[in-house]
Amino acid sequence: MTTYAETIAAGLNGHGHLLGIEGLRADQISYLLNLADGYVDQNRAVKKTTDLLSGRTVINLFFENSTRTLTSFELAAKRLGADVINMLVASSSIKKGETLIDTAMTLNAMHPDVMVVRHSDSGAVKLLSEKVNGSVINAGDGSHEHPTQALLDALTIRRRKGDLYGLRVAICGDIAHSRVARSNIHLLNTMGAEVRLIAPPTLLPAAVERMGVETFHNMKEGLEGCDIVMMLRLQLERMQGSFVPSIREYFRYFGLDQEKLAMAKPDALVMHPGPMNRGVEIDSELADDLDRSLIRTQVEMGVAVRMACLHALTQGTLNEEPAA
C-alpha cells in the first residue's frame, strides 16, 4: 500500500500530488513558502498574471461547498495563465464511490494537468489521485487534511513572526472534525513549533496522544504564553449527535474574546480559516480587530500559496532532494 509520503513523491506517470502535509519534509514546506512569498508581491502588483501555466488546464472538482477555497484556487490558476474549469458536484445527489471515480475518469479523458479536489470523505482525494494522469491537489477531504490551508496559515505566521520555529501555537475548538487542525498539527510539528490543542473532551480526536501536542480543556490555561491563537469553526455538518451542550455555553467556555486572549502573549495574533461563526467560536469585534486578527491576511496568502503549489507540481520542483 502506498503511504501519503510516497504518493506525494511520485504520482501516476511520475506527476507529483499534494494530498496532505503529512509526509512533507521541512525543506519542502519552506520551499513552497518561499515560492509563495514571491507570489504575494506579484499579487500586489498592477499586473498580476504570468504565463507559467499557459496552455495548461486546471480543473477544480468540488464535491463539497466552498467559497473562499474554490475562488482562491481559480484565481491562483488564472494568475499563472492556466485555463480553468470549475466543476461543482452536489455529493448528496450521487452514489459516492462510483460517481467519484466515474467523474474522475471522465475528466481525466480531457487531459487536465492538475485536478484540485474537495470531497466530504477522508481518503477520497487519494483514491482519485491513483486513477488520473495529472497532478492532484487535495482541497480538503472530510476531516482528514487541507494542506493548502495549513501552508497559507504558515505563510501568514512566518511573514508576521519571522519564523515558525519555537512559536507556541494554540489550536482551539472543534479539532475532532477539522482537517485544518490535522494539517496544521503536521506542519507546525515539522517546522518546530510548540502545538497546544484546546477543546472540550468531546471535540478532541481519539488518537490525540499520538499527535505530539499538549491538550487543554480550559481556554485560559491553554492560551497562556501563546504567540498564535487559531480558532476553528464548529463543523456541525460532520457531527452526528450533540457534541456541545448549547452554543451559548460553548462561546462562554471556548469562544475567543479579549478577556481570554489576555492570557496569551501581549503580541499574540488571532487566526481563523473561515467561514466564521461570529459569537460562536469568536467574538465578532475581535475577529475584525486589525491589530490582533490575521483573518483577512490569511485569505490574501491563500492565493499566493496555491500559486506556489500549482507552480511546484507542474514544474516538478517539489520533489527535489535537499542539497546535502
In the complex, what is the shortest distance from the CB of residue 152 to ligand ASP, in angstroms, rounded to a whole number?
11
Cα distance between residue 159 and residue 147, in whole Å: 18
* Residue 258 in marked binding region: no
- Which residue, 57 or 148, has its beta carbon nearer to ligand ASP? 148
Mask 107-146, x = binds ligand ASP (CB under 6 A)?
Answer: ---------------------------------x-----x
- Which residue, 175 or 219, has its beta carbon nearer to ligand ASP? 175
User: Are 217 and 223 within 8 A, CB to CB?
Assistant: no
* Residue 147 in marked binding region: no
- Which residue, 113 or 153, has its beta carbon nearer to ligand ASP? 153
- Which residue, 141 or 227, has its beta carbon nearer to ligand ASP? 141
Q: Which three cell numbers stand for residue 163?
A: 519564523
Give the total of residues touching ligand ASP (CB under 6 A): 8
Cα distance between residue 55 and residue 297, in whole Å: 31
- Which residue, 56 or 233, has its beta carbon nearer to ligand ASP? 233
Residues in region 225-244 near ligand ASP by CB under 6 A = 233, 235
* Residue 69 in marked binding region: yes
In the complex, what is the shortest distance from the CB of residue 280 to ligand ASP, in angstroms, rounded to a whole number?
11
Give me the sign of the Cα torsion angle 182, 187, 190, 193. Answer: negative
- Which residue, 53 or 228, has its beta carbon nearer to ligand ASP? 228
* Residue 118 in marked binding region: yes
Residue type, 241: G
* Residue 252 in marked binding region: no
Helix (H, G, I), strand (E, B) or coil at 157: helix
Helix (H, G, I), strand (E, B) or coil at 35: helix
* Residue 179 in marked binding region: yes
Sheet holding 114-119, edge to edge: 83-88, 57-62, 114-119, 135-141
Strand 214-216 to 228-231 pairing: unpaired
Residue in 126, 179, 260, 306 binding ligand ASP, rule: CB under 6 A: 179
Residues in region 13-52 near ligand ASP by CB under 6 A = none
273 binds ligand ASP (CB under 6 A): yes
DSSP letter for each residue of 200-259? -GGGS-TTGGGSS-EEES-HHHHHTT-SEEEE----GGG-SS-SSS-HHHHHHHHSB-HH
- Which residue, 36 or 152, has its beta carbon nearer to ligand ASP? 152
Burial group, residue 208, by CB count within 10 angstroms (0-12, 13-18, 19+): middle
DSSP letter for each residue of 107-131? HHTT--SEEEEEESSTTHHHHHHTT
In the complex, what is the shortest distance from the CB of residue 298 to ligand ASP, in angstroms, rounded to a whole number?
10
Q: Which residues are annotated as a binding site?
A: 68-69, 96, 118, 146, 149, 179, 233, 274-275
Residue numbers at the binding site for ligand ASP (CB under 6 A): 140, 146, 179-180, 233, 235, 273-274
